[in-house]
Amino acid sequence: MRFIFGPDYKNAGEVRSQIAQIQNDIRDLEALKDDLTSTTDQREVQEAIDNLESEAEALQTDLDQKLEGFSLFGWLNRLLSRYSG
C-alpha cells in the first residue's frame, strides 16, 4: 500500500509538531538551567535536556525514514492531506 499511496503525511505533520514542542521544551529548560545556581540542579536539568534532544533526534530519524522512497500516487496523498513538510 505504501508503494501505491506513499507515506502517511497527516501523521508526519503530527510528528513534526511533536518535534517542535520538544525543541520548545529544550529552549525552556536551557533558560531555566542558566538561572540555576546549584550545580546539582544544573546537572539534572542538563540530563533532561539531553534526554529530550535524544528523543527529538530519534523522532526525526524515524520520520525521515518513513518519508523516503518512491510511491506511485504519493503526490496525490500529499495533496489530499495538505502536507507541507
Predicted confidence at residue 30, as pLDDT, reads: 97
- The per-residue pLDDT for range 60-70, each reduced to its tens digit, is 998 887 777 65
Burial label for 9, CB within 10 Å (0-12, 13-18, 19+), is: buried
Statement: residue 83 has pLDDT above 80:
no
- The per-residue pLDDT for range 11-41, each reduced to its tens digit, is 777 888 999 999 999 999 999 999 999 999 9
In this structure, are residues 70 and 3 in contact, taking their beta carbons and an 8 Å threshold? yes
In this structure, are residues 32 and 46 in contact, taking their beta carbons and an 8 Å threshold? no
pTM, two decimal places: 0.69
